[in-house]
């Protein structure tokens, strides 16, 4: 008994061959010369008149024959597609994660959907913002986000000061140099907030996605191992259409 995965493996080739042969048949039918034949013989009016050879051309393409060939080609395609679709209705499997069924008896079509969506979700998670690793963060439930420990910094003001390089004398004034000194006038208390995520959280999400993706692929393989329910639809369809 054939399995669903075997039918899926050959369906594409049969479909491609069917379309190719159908196109060739349509091309042949589009050439009137191939559909036409002729037979001509010549008889001179007088017995001693010139004798000419007969002319003959056979019909190379017959529409009914093309229909029969098309029936055969498309019947195979219709049958294998029906077999796949009927079996797909029964092809189911559990999605098992860490030894426990997360989803029970999932149809193979939904498993294919899940497989694709998990790729998109993985791409989404990889773009999530991550907290700056140079800071120490803790979650503040009141602010509903991540915060750093308070950091205190100084607020300073440059105050001019005089530096006497040389005292005044009877003949020379004092030599004074002006410089500026930073004087603390206050204190800044800084707390940073962030709506990003810890790297560990993002890595955990990616690990879960990867684990579920593997489970879905295993389930798809199991579902695709279902014995096929062979269908014969093509003959009835084409008997009705061209019979």
Question: What whole-number distance in Å separates Cα of residue 68 and Cα of residue 66?
Answer: 5
Global pTM value: 0.68
**Residue 151, token pair as written in the block:** 């950091």
CB 117 within 8 A of CB 143: no
Label each residue of the chain as H, E or C. Answer: CCEHHHHHHHHHHHHHHHHHHHHHHHHHHCCHHHHCCEEECCCCCCCCCCCCCCEEECCCCCHHHHHHHHHHHHHHHHHHHHHHHHHHCCCEEEEEECCEEEEEEEEHHHHHHHHHHHHHHHHHHHCCCECCCCCCEEEECCCCEEEECCEEEEEEEEEEEEEEEECCCCCCCCEEEEEEEEEEEEEEEECCEECCECHHHHHHHHHHHHHHHHHHHHHHHHHCCCECCCCCCHHHHHHHHHC
Could you count the other beta carbons within 10 Å of the beta carbon of residue 204? 13
Percent with pLDDT over 90 in the chain: 63
Query: If pLDDT is split at 50, 70 and 90, which confidence band does 87 have?
Result: very high
- Segment 168-177 shows an average pLDDT of 79
Cβ atoms of 202 and 130 within 8 Å: the answer is yes
* Lowest model confidence (mean pLDDT) among 60-69, 106-115, 155-164: 155-164
Using CB atoms within 10 Å of the CB of residue 106, give its burial: 0 to 12 exposed, 13 to 18 middle, 19+ buried: buried
* 130-166 residue pLDDT tens: 999 999 999 999 999 999 999 999 988 888 888 877 7
pLDDT, residue 18, reads 92
Predicted pLDDT of residue 199:
95
Hey, which residues does 213 pair with through a beta bridge?
A: none
pLDDT at 147: 96
pLDDT mean across residues, the chain: 91
pLDDT higher than 80, residue 171: no
Place of tokens 């029964």: 90
Confidence of residue 226 (pLDDT cuts 50, 70, 90): very high
**Lowest-confidence range among 102-106, 112-116, 137-141, 182-186?**
182-186
Task: Give yes or no for residue 1 having a pLDDT over 80.
Answer: no
């Amino acid at each position: 008994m054939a399995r669903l995965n075997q039918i899926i493996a050959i369906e594409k080739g049969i479909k491609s061959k069917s379309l190719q042969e159908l196109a060739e048949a349509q091309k042949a039918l589009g050439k009137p010369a191939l559909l036409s034949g002729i037979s001509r013989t010549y008889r001179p009016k007088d017995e001693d008149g010139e004798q000419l050879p007969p002319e003959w051309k056979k019909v190379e393409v017959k529409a009914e024959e093309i229909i029969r060939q098309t029936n055969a080609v498309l019947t195979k395609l219709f049958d294998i597609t029906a077999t796949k679709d009927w079996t797909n209705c029964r092809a189911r499997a559990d999605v098992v994660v860490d030894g426990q069924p997360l989803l029970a008896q999932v149809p193979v079509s939904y498993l294919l959907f899940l497989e694709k969506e998990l790729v998109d979700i993985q791409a989404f998670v990889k773009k999530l913002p991550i907290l700056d690793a140079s800071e120490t963060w803790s979650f503040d439930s009141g602010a509903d986000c991540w915060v750093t420990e308070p950091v205190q910094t100084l607020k300073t003001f440059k105050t001019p000061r005089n530096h006497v390089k040389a005292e005044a004398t009877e003949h020379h004034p004092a030599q004074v140099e002006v410089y500026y000194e930073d004087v603390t006038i206050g204190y800044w208390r800084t707390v940073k907030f962030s709506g990003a995520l810890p790297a560990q959280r993002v890595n955990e999400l990616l690990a879960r996605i990867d684990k579920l993706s593997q489970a879905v692929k295993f389930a798809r393989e199991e579902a695709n191992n279902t014995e096929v329910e062979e269908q014969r639809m093509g003959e009835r369809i084409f008997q009705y259409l061209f019979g």
